[in-house]
Structure formats: structure tokens, C-alpha cells
């Protein structure tokens, strides 16, 4: 095939956004990022003192949403270069807006000038209403194109602001509906970061109006977060510091009885889920402050606390508002991580206030040091337990493989695969189906124990856990060594039902807590065996056509579209013959694997604790949020 200039496609205007939406908004499962883009634009008016209220309204279908602010109103006069009203330029031209010119916005979350135009490009319909100059201006778009030019009408005297109403394009998103709970959480969190700004949310489906407004800032955020988590605050106090310098900085931290540290970070009002300079500085500052005051308490002076010991159980938050003139950047359009040297320096300064607080409130500090000592002793105990594991797995430095492991022939770790299955029946079928050259099979007996809440001593006395660790070869915890990994891929292959999903969850919980580097190095995968085999009866002289379905919905679609079908439901992997299991789940050319990766270590551990921890409220909330779209028992 010839490759010539005719094959080069030039995407005009916003076509590039529609062609590759993931480059601009990350995932396209839901339109939630579109809402955040418009809300953040309104909040840029609030950061700079021009808006005091943001109102969000969701229609009864959950598909049409509007965001209104009481800011200055987007300019409507003609843009000299584009020969169009400025509001039209902002919503139809990438990299346009008032964030580039110095003095228009002192501080802003949107740096690239693409948010409004991207939302427009990915919306079936979008309308902008601007209130300014005692007039109302309206303009309408569809999929990035102007369909109704700017028009003016008599307005409400002295009213200013902007209202954007849009309907996400169903051809772009897997679901074009908004989740009211997500909107509620977003506005609630924003109210903690933007002190004194009022947020209103009207859900027209329920008729409920919610109002969020906070003057206590991140202290209220941490307080609510801890309360919602069912945790107890050590010393019944939250360290809360604000510093209104050139870079406005705020931190709030509380030690709790949780096993994990959990932080949230914000830059110019936008949550930076992957952290960055400001969060790194806060974590380091907490450790420095504790070590400084530790020396003033003789009973703790000799204890060698690690940074992890000190931060265990902390629920904390940091927020910075950075003037546009500073040299800072976000990673990606969704702004997940901040890079800013000046922010790091400013947070370092504010962390001296943590040390001062600990020095002044000595009774509180004693309780914090007691809490840190618990983490310290627990770590030493865990280290001893993992050392014990090494002795159990390595006898006289000679590696001992479990009896239930059917190992592969190859010793090329990069190509080898370990399939973890449940039960002897599934294990027997998988062992027959596999390619013995590079595929190993380890069958476990039933559901493994919940290692997230169990004591170390019980975990490492469990035969199934010992076999799993021995097969993988790396040991666990602080003695983990990635160089001793025996397989390039570790594939959890369980039945395609609720019990199978539960077993997968327990195994992922174990890997997340005790063998974290496997996730960090991308070694963990989930297999996707089918739930149904659907065969179409062939016409005379033809062959049988077979479909493998992973869900009830997939099966129903095929059954409804064809008149003569035969359906087989697999209750487990053991019911499949080796050829079927190979074709659907083990053959690298035909199988489907879900790659499980670790992006944010502490956020993942917190979620694992929510799902597998002792407090059942989080699981109840999670299940409740999916009740209307999920069938819990197939």
C-alpha cells in the first residue's frame, strides 16, 4: 500500500478533540470531567474576587447540566484577530481565553485555554448566557460548531455572570449521564478550598437543593473526611495553618487510628490527585517537625522512627493558590500533578508552624508520639514476621516450591506466566489447557483470608498464603525483592461470577498491602473467562458460530438478535473443557486480560482499606451507588 500526501489528514478547529477526546479530558467513561472544566472556569472568577456564588443545576434526565456564576461575565465584544465575539472565540478556538495575558487573572486553575472549547466540542448541545452591561447575551453551539450566533436581550439591571448549559455527546461517552452524588461531592470539596464561596446544587429529579459554604477551610474537609471514615482523631485536635502570602497556602492534618496515611492536595482550587511539589513538601515537613520535637521527649528520643511511621494514620490536606506570573505547571489537561519550586518553598515555611504547634501543645504531642510508636512497633513486628516467612520458604537457602504449583519449563522470567486459580477442579482444567513451556498454574483452596485486616502472625501461618508467596518468589513486605520474581505476568483467573470477583478482590488486597512493587511494576493481571457460550445454529451446510459472553447483557444482545441459538452458562472454570479454557482465557492471541496498575500508592491503599477493612459503611455506600445499574447475584 502506497503512503502519500493524500493519506495525511489535517483536523480543523475542534475536530481533533472529537477524534482523540482522551488527550484532552482523560477517560471518556462519563462526562464528569466536562462539568469540572466549566466549574473551574467559574471558580477562576472567584479566585480573583469577582464571583461569590456558583450554582449547578441537573435536569431530571441527568443528561443536561448548567453552571452559573456571578462573576464579570465572559466578554462579548468582537475579538480583533478572530473577527468574532470573544465568547464565541473562547468556546470554538483551542488555546484561547484570558489566562495568558498578565493582569486579567492574577491566579487561575486553567492555564492552557482549552477547557471551554473542549467541553463544547464534546457536547451535543451547548448554550452560553452572559449577563453584563444590563443585558443578556445568548449563543448556542453543537459539537463545537456555532448554530445560533450571539444575540442580546434586555437583562436584569446590575446582574453580571455567566451561565453555561450543555448536554454531553452520547457518541463520545460510554454513559452521557451525570451522577448526582459525584456532583455533590465535587461542590462540597470545592467549598472547603474556596473559603466563603457559596455553592448551590439543584437536582431537578429529586427537587432537592443543596448548599455548601465553608469558612473553616481544609480543617472542615479533614474533620468530615475522618468522621466519614469512622476513624478517631488522636488527641482530638487538627493542626490547621493558613498563610496568606503571595502564594496563599493552607494545610490541615490529623493523626488517626487508621493503618494508612491519606492526603488530598489542591492547586488553584483544582484537586491534584497525583500530588506534586506542594504535597511532597508537606509530607517532608511533617516528618521534619516530628523529629525536631521528638528530641524533647526522653522516652521517645532513642526510637528510630521512619517517615512512614510518622505519617501512618495521618489524614491531611494542602491547598495553594499560585499567581499566574510564577513558573508552575500541571501534568496533563486533567491537572493531576503540580510542579512548582516556589510552592515547595512556601509549604516548607508553613510546616514550621506544625513544629511550633507540637512544641506548644505538649499533651497533644505526647499522644501523637504514642501513636507513632504504635506504628513503629507494628513495623518491627511485621519485619520479624516477614523474616520468619523467608525461613519458612527458604530452607537452608534452597528454594522450596509448593506442591500445588504446576510450574513451567522455561526459565525466561520475562515470558513466563503464573495463573492463580481457585479450587482443584479449575486447577485441573487449567493445567491441561496451559502451554507448559511458559505457563504455570497454582490452585488455591477456596477464598484466601482477608490479609488487609488480619494480624501478620495469622497471615503468615496460612498455608495458601505461604504457597502463593513461595510460587512468586519475591518474599513480602520489607524483604520483597523484585529481582527474585519468577514470572513476568501474574494472572488471577477466577470464575466469572460474584464469588470469583470476591476472590480476585482478596488477592488484589494482598498484593496491594504485602507485595506492592508487583503492582508498581505492572506485573498483575486479571483474566476474563466467559460467563456464557452462545452458539448460533448454522444454516444447511454451514459451520457453527460461537460467541463467548462475559456478561448477561452481552448474552441477551446476541440472543435477541438471533432466532436459533444455544446458550451454555459456565458455573466455574472447572466446567469448561481444556480447549475452551485455552481459547477464551489462556491463549495470548485470543484471551482478554485486565492490567492492574498502581498510580497513587496511598490512595489505592486507602481504597483497599475502605473495601476490605472492618468498617462496613464504605462497602454499603459503594454497593448502594451501583444498585440501579448492577445485578448483585447472577
Please, what is the average pLDDT of the chain? 84
Chain position carrying cell 482530638: 236
| Grid cell locating 508 | 488484589
**Structural class in CATH, domain 401-529+593-626:** alpha beta
Contacting residues for 339 by C-beta, under 8 A, at least 6 apart:
276, 277, 328, 329, 330, 331
Is the pLDDT at 251 greater than 60, yes or no? yes
pLDDT at 128: 96
Of 37, 70, 495, 583, the catalytic one is: 495
- CA 96 – CA 369 distance, rounded (Å): 52
**Residue ranges per structural domain of the chain:** 15-212, 218-380, 401-529+593-626
Of 37, 417, 422, 583, the catalytic one is: 422
**CATH number of this structure's domain 15-212, picked from the four choices 3.40.50.1220, 2.60.120.1440, 3.30.565.10, 3.40.50.720:** 3.30.565.10
The secondary structure of 383-397 as a DSSP string is HHHHHHHHHHHEETT
Answer whether 252's CB lies under 8 Å from 240's CB: yes
pLDDT in tens, 196-230: 899 999 999 999 999 999 989 999 999 988 888 77
Q: Are strands 65-69 and 161-168 parallel, antiparallel or unpaired?
A: antiparallel
pLDDT tier at 234, thresholds 50, 70, 90: very high
CA distances from 523 to 25, 515, 581, 611 (A): 27, 11, 22, 22
Across 413-439, average pLDDT: 92
| Grid cell locating 414 | 520475562
List, in sequence order, the alpha helices (H) in 95-138. 115-121
Q: Reduce the secondary structure of 125-136 to three states and give it as a string.
A: EEEEEEEECCEE
Residue scoring higher pLDDT (575 or 291): 291
Answer whether 262's CB lies under 8 Å from 228's CB: no
Answer whether 496's CB lies under 8 Å from 530's CB: yes
Is the pLDDT at 287 greater than 80, yes or no? yes
CA distances from 185 to 70, 192, 625 (A): 22, 11, 13
Estimate the share of the chain in helix, then strand, then coil, as percent rounded to the nearest 5.
Answer: 40, 25, 40
Answer whether 110's CB lies under 8 Å from 97's CB: yes
Look at residue 586 and give its three-state secondary structure. Answer: helix
Label residues 239-264 b or e (16+ Cβ within 10 Å = b): bbbbbeeebbbbbbbbbbebbbbbbb
Is the pLDDT at 259 greater than 70, yes or no? yes
| Grid cell locating 333 | 489537561
Q: What residues does 339 pair with on adjacent strands? A: 329
Share of the chain above pLDDT 90, in %: 41
Answer whether 324's CB lies under 8 Å from 108's CB: yes
| Catalytic status, residue 497 | yes
Of 497, 575, 610, 615, the catalytic one is: 497
pLDDT at 147: 95
The secondary structure of 204-249 as a DSSP string is TTTTEEEEE--SSTHHHHHHHHHHHTT--BGGG--EEEEEESSSEE
Answer whether 57's CB lies under 8 Å from 44's CB: no
Is the pLDDT at 80 greater than 70, yes or no? yes
**Chain centroid offset of residue 23 CA:** 17
* Helix 601-612, helix 617-626: angle, nearest 10: 90
Q: Which of 120-124, 458-462, 567-571 has the highest mean pLDDT?
A: 120-124
pLDDT at 271: 87
Residue scoring higher pLDDT (404 or 97): 404
Of 15, 499, 556, 575, the catalytic one is: 499
Element (H, E) at 79: strand 78-79
**Structural class in CATH, domain 218-380:** alpha beta
Chain position carrying cell 505538649: 362
| Catalytic status, residue 422 | yes
Summary count for the chain: helices (H), strands (E) = 21, 28
Residue scoring higher pLDDT (30 or 609): 30
| Grid cell locating 47 | 479566585
Share of the chain above pLDDT 70, in %: 86
Look at residue 48 and give its three-state secondary structure. Answer: coil
Across 494-499, average pLDDT: 84
Look at residue 478 and give its three-state secondary structure. Answer: helix
pLDDT tier at 336, thresholds 50, 70, 90: confident
List, in sequence order, the alpha helices (H) in 394-515. 424-433, 456-459, 463-472, 498-514
Amino acid at each position: 500500500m502506497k503512503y502519500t500526501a493524500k493519506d495525511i489528514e489535517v483536523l480543523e478547529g475542534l475536530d481533533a478533540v472529537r477524534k482523540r477526546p482522551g488527550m484532552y479530558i482523560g477517560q471518556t467513561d462519563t462526562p464528569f470531567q466536562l462539568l469540572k472544566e466549566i466549574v473551574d472556569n467559574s471558580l477562576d472568577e472567584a479566585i480573583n474576587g469577582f464571583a461569590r456564588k456558583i450554582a449547578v443545576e441537573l435536569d431530571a434526565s441527568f443528561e443536561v447540566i448548567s453552571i452559573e456564576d456571578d462573576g464579570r461575565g465572559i466578554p462579548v465584544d468582537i475579538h480583533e484577530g478572530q473577527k468574532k465575539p470573544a465568547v464565541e472565540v473562547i468556546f470554538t478556538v483551542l488555546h484561547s481565553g484570558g489566562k495568558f495575558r498578565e493582569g486579567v487573572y492574577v491566579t487561575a486553575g486553567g492555564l492552557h485555554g482549552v477547557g471551554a472549547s473542549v467541553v463544547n466540542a464534546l457536547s451535543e448541545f451547548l448554550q452560553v448566557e452572559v449577563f453584563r452591561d444590563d443585558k443578556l447575551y445568548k449563543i448556542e453551539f453543537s459539537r463545537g460548531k456555532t448554530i445560533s450566533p450571539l444575540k442580546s436581550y434586555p437583562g436584569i439591571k446590575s446582574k453580571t455572570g455567566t451561565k453555561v448549559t450543555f448536554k454531553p455527546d452520547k457518541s463520545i461517552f460510554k454513559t452521557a449521564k451525570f451522577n448526582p452524588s459525584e456532583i455533590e461531592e465535587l461542590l462540597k470539596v470545592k467549598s472547603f478550598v474556596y473559603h466563603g464561596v457559596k455553592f448551590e446544587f439543584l437536582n431537578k429529579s429529586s427537587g432537592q437543593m443543596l448548599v455548601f459554604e465553608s469558612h473553616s477551610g481544609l480543617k472542615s474537609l479533614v474533620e468530615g473526611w475522618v468522621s466519614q471514615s469512622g476513624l478517631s482523631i488522636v488527641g482530638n485536635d487538627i493542626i490547621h495553618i493558613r498563610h496568606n502570602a503571595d502564594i496563599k497556602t493552607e494545610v490541615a492534618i490529623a493523626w488517626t487510628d487508621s493503618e494508612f496515611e491519606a492526603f488530598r492536595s489542591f492547586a488553584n482550587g483544582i484537586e491534584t490527585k497525583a500530588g506534586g511539589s506542594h504535597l511532597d513538601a508537606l509530607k517532608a515537613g511533617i516528618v521534619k517537625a516530628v523529629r525536631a520535637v521528638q528530641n524533647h521527649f526522653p522516652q521517645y528520643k532513642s526510637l528510630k522512627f521512619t517517615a512512614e511511621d510518622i505519617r501512618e494514620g495521618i489524614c491531611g490536606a494542602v491547598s495553594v493558590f499560585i499567581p499566574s506570573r510564577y513558573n508552575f505547571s500541571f501534568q496533563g489537561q486533567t491537572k493531576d500533578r503540580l510542579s512548582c519550586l516556589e510552592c515547595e518553598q512556601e509549604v516548607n515555611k508553613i510546616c514550621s508552624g506544625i513544629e511550633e504547634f507540637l512544641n506548644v501543645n505538649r499533651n497533644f504531642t505526647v499522644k501523637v508520639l504514642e501513636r507513632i510508636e504504635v506504628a513503629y512497633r507494628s513495623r518491627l513486628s511485621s519485619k520479624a514476621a516477614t523474616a520468619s516467612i523467608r525461613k519458612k520458604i527458604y530452607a537452608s537457602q534452597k528454594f522450596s516450591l509448593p506442591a500445588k504449583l504446576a510450574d513451567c519449563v522455561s526459565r525466561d522470567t520475562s515470558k513466563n506466566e503464573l495463573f492463580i486459580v481457585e479450587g482443584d477442579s479449575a486447577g485441573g482444567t487449567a493445567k491441561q489447557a496451559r502451554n507448559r513451556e511458559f505457563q504455570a498454574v497454582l490452585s488455591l483452596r477456596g477464598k484466601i483470608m482477608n490479609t488487609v485486616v488480619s494480624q501478620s502472625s495469622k497471615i503468615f501461618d496460612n498455608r495458601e498464603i505461604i504457597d502463593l508467596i513461595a510460587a512468586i518468589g519475591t518474599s513480602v513486605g520489607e524483604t520483597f525483592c523484585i529481582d527474585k520474581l519468577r514470572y513476568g505476568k501474574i494472572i488471577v483467573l477466577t470464575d466469572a461470577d460474584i464469588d470469583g470477583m470476591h476472590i480476585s478482590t482478596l488477592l488484589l488486597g494482598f498484593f496491594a498491602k504485602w507485595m506492592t512493587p508487583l503492582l508498581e511494576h505492572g506485573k498483575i493481571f486479571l483474566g476474563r473467562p466467559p460467563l456464557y457460550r452462545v452458539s448460533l445454529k448454522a444454516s444447511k451446510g454451514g459451520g457453527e458460530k460461537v460467541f463467548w459472553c462475559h456478561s448477561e447483557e452481552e448474552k441477551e444482545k446476541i440472543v435477541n438478535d438471533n432466532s436459533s441459538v444455544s446458550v451454555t452458562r459456565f458455573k466455574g472454570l472447572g466446567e469448561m473443557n481444556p480447549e475452551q479454557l485455552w481459547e477464551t482465557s489462556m491463549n495470548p492471541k485470543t484471551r482478554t486480560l485486565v492490567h492492574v496498575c498502581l498510580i497513587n500508592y496511598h490512595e489505592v491503599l486507602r481504597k483497599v482499606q475502605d473495601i476490605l477493612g472492618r468498617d462496613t459503611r464504605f462497602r454499603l455506600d459503594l454497593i448502594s451507588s451501583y444498585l440501579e445499574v448492577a445485578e448483585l447475584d447472577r
